[in-house]
Structure 1
Amino acid sequence: MKLGARVLKTGIAIVLALYLAELLALPSPIFAGIAAAFVVQPTIYRSFVSILEHIQANIIGAGIAIIFVLLFGNHVVVIGFAAVIAITIILKLKIETTIGLALVTLIAIMEVQHDDFVIFALLRFATIMLGVLSSFAVNLIFLPPKYETKLFYKISTTTDDMIKWIRLSTRHATEHQLLKKDIEKFKERLIKIDQVYLMYKEERGYFKRNSVSKTRKLVVYRQMISAVRRSFEILKRLHRFENELHQVPEALQMLVQEQLDCLMSYHEQLLLRFVRKIKSTNEDDQINHTCLDHKEVTDIFMKEVNKTRDEEENNGYHLLHVLSAMLEYEEHLVHLDTLIASLQSYHEEDNHVSLPERDFE
């Protein structure tokens, strides 16, 4: 288990909420700490949305609590019915993620009934809102997330690991069951990449210039994810048709191996070029100049398919699955190349990515 930024921010928010509640001499400061624990979010944007939703939900919870206590008292049945009403309203407003804290507010207010109940209720409400605001302040000030660095690191490491497996697969050096397990792990890693991409996408630029640059970067990162998914598709097909590919002519096996080696080298260099680890290339010096073009590869594959058309074995037809994956992979890499070149041409000063020194899993 790793101690992440969100865990630290939660602890800091609770401490801040409790300290401020005690400093302001609010009754039951523990409720400020509870509220702070509910509201911490992984991104600043989500924190902003969350605080607006929690303010609405807490007003609903506090309002219903005050009305029900004044009209019906604070019997346990009344509290339960008030909770049902509060949940119904919150669900109607589509802010269901705030139900937990809204119910805490409602129950905290309805637990006592005395002459100064309204003042007591307002103080409880203020205590809980102090916790909400403390979490928001911590999200803004402490440990700002670097989702761009995290995103690129995950894409880069996943791509590297996938390329290693593809190289081993084309040389028939993989262990079938071990690769099968790693394919499942790759699926999980791709899901995590999508999640980090969404978090990075949610972060807003504060200046128009930064916003335009980030929009272009989002397009590049989306294409990076698309390219790594194409490489994953190749790995799955090499694994699925491992035996069939092993039975095709050795010359064709070498063609698949060399073409994929070329494309994967192209992919690796694109990622390095994005972080300026290697110099940019011009149109006359393409990175993938050693790769065969679509027509050459397709013609060679189709000749093999035609040879096996009248044979009992249909190994040649399985090659079409690998061929289509290779062609898609190349198309996505070429498009990624174009996007990176465009980004570095128009936003030369704003496309630096800091590489982390540790794993972000």
Structure 2
Amino acid sequence: MKLGARIFKTGIAIVLSLYLAQLLHSPSPVFAAIAAIFAIQPTIYRSYLTIIEQIQGNIIGAIMAVIFVLVLGNHYIVVGLAAIIVILLNLKLKLEKNIGLSLVTLISIMEIQSGSFIQFAGIRFSTIMIGVFSAFIVNLVFMPPKYENKLYLKIADTTEEIIRWIRLSTRHDFDHQLLKTDIEKLKDSYIKISQFYLMYKEERSYFKRITLEKSRKLVIYRQMTSAAKKALDTLKKLHRFENDLLHLPENFQQSIQEQLDCLIYQHEQLMLRFIGKIPTHPTYSEGNVCLNKKELFDLFLSHQKEYAEEDPPHMYHIMQIVASIIDYSEQVEHLDTLITSFHSYHENEVSIEEPHNE
């Protein structure tokens, strides 16, 4: 188990909310702590959106609590009916994420036994808002997340794993069951990549130059993801149709291996070139000799002519492999173009550090 940044921030937010509630002499500081837990978010921008939404949700809960207590009292059946109304109002206003905190506000106010109800409701509402603002302050000040680091490293790790398997597959040197298991894990990696991409996209920049640079980076990261996805598709084809590959002529098999070896090498170099680990203009790009798609396609057509009359099933499988390799190469070429363009505008290398655990 690792102590991630979000876990640490949640603890700090609880401490801060309890401290502020006691400092302001709130009779029930625990409600501030509960609100702080609800309000912790993974990004500053989401924290900003959350505080706006939670203010609305808390107002709904507080108003409904006051109305129901003044009109119908605070019998537990009335509390249940008020809770239903609060949920419906939040759904109607598209504040689904704030239903929990709205209900906490509602119940905390409707539990009054005696005394000045309006004053009691105001104190409870204020206490809960202390928790919401405490969480916002913690999100703003403590360990702002670096989702660009997380995004790049996740894409790089996933790409590296795919490339390793492609290299083994072209040499027919792998464990089928292990590869099948890893392919499923790699599919799950794309869910995490999508989450990090969204988080990074949501991070706001306050200077025009940084905003423009980030816009270009978002395009590159999206293309990195697409290239890795095509690499995974190629790997799945190699795994699925391995027997068909083994029945190809030696020169055809060798060509596929050489094409893929050079393609994955270029893919690896591009990932490093983006963050400045290798020169901006590597020697492999001269003429893109290793990405001779026409040669590969001509070999397929030549092989297909030999079986024109027989129409064997394996030809359709080989066609899928060749098409996947060509598609993969086009994605890598487009990534090359984007990275070259990016470095022509932004000479400073992209800084990637090991991220905090979230």
**Pairwise same-fold verdict (TM > 0.5):** yes
| Structure 1 outlier segments of 4+, above 3 Å | none
Q: Quick one: which amino acid aligns to residue 324 of structure 2? A: A
Residue 263 of structure 1 aligns with which residue? 263
SS at match of 1:115: coil
Deviation of 1:296 after TM superposition, in Å, equals: 1.8
Q: Quick one: which amino acid aligns to residue 128 of structure 1? A: I
Q: CA RMSD for the aligned pairs?
A: 1.6
Give the number of the structure with larger relative contact order, counting CA–CA contacts within 8 Å between residues 6 or more apart. 2
Alignment of 1:136-215 (within 5 A): 136-215=136-215
Deviation of 1:23 after TM superposition, in Å, equals: 1.0
Structure 1: state its 5+ residue gaps.
Answer: none
- In 2, Cα distance between the equivalents of 1:288 and 1:269? 16
Q: Quick one: which amino acid aligns to residue 354 of structure 1? A: I
Residue 73 of structure 2 aligns with which residue? 73
- In 2, Cα distance between the equivalents of 1:14 and 1:287? 58
Is the 2:266–2:284 contact (alpha carbons within 8 Å) kept by the matching residues of 1? no
351, 354, 357: which one pairs with 1:356?
Answer: 354
Residue 299 of structure 2 aligns with which residue? 300
Residue 95 of structure 1 aligns with which residue? 95
SS at match of 1:291: helix
- In 2, Cα distance between the equivalents of 1:240 and 1:180? 10
- In 2, Cα distance between the equivalents of 1:78 and 1:357? 49
| Percent of aligned pairs sharing the same letter | 56
Query: Kindly tell me: are residues 52 and 254 of structure 1, through their superposed partners in 2, closer, same or farther at Cα, counting changes over 3 Å?
Result: same
Q: Quick one: which amino acid aligns to residue 126 of structure 1? A: S
Residue 338 of structure 1 aligns with which residue? 337
Render the CA deviation track for 1:35-85: whole Å, top value 9, x for unaligned.
000110111111111111100000000011011111111001111111111
Q: Quick one: which amino acid aligns to residue 279 of structure 2? A: K
TM-score of the two chains, using structure 1 as the length reference: 0.96
Is the 2:109–2:121 contact (alpha carbons within 8 Å) kept by the matching residues of 1? yes
Q: Quick one: which amino acid aligns to residue 241 of structure 2? A: F
SS at match of 1:99: helix
- In 2, Cα distance between the equivalents of 1:89 and 1:230? 45
Deviation of 1:286 after TM superposition, in Å, equals: 1.7
Q: Quick one: which amino acid aligns to residue 66 of structure 2? A: I
Residue 105 of structure 2 aligns with which residue? 105
Is the 1:281–1:287 contact (alpha carbons within 8 Å) kept by the matching residues of 2? no
- In 1, Cα distance between the equivalents of 2:287 and 2:22? 65
- In 1, Cα distance between the equivalents of 2:300 and 2:4? 49
Is the 1:73–1:113 contact (alpha carbons within 8 Å) kept by the matching residues of 2? no
Query: Kindly tell me: are residues 8 and 214 of structure 1, through their superposed partners in 2, closer, same or farther at Cα, counting changes over 3 Å?
Result: same
Q: Quick one: which amino acid aligns to residue 61 of structure 1? A: G
- In 1, Cα distance between the equivalents of 2:226 and 2:31? 46
TM-score of the two chains, using structure 2 as the length reference: 0.96
Aligned residues: 358
Query: Kindly tell me: are residues 285 and 313 of structure 1, through their superposed partners in 2, closer, same or farther at Cα, counting changes over 3 Å?
Result: closer
Residue 275 of structure 1 aligns with which residue? 275
Residue 48 of structure 2 aligns with which residue? 48
Residue 85 of structure 2 aligns with which residue? 85
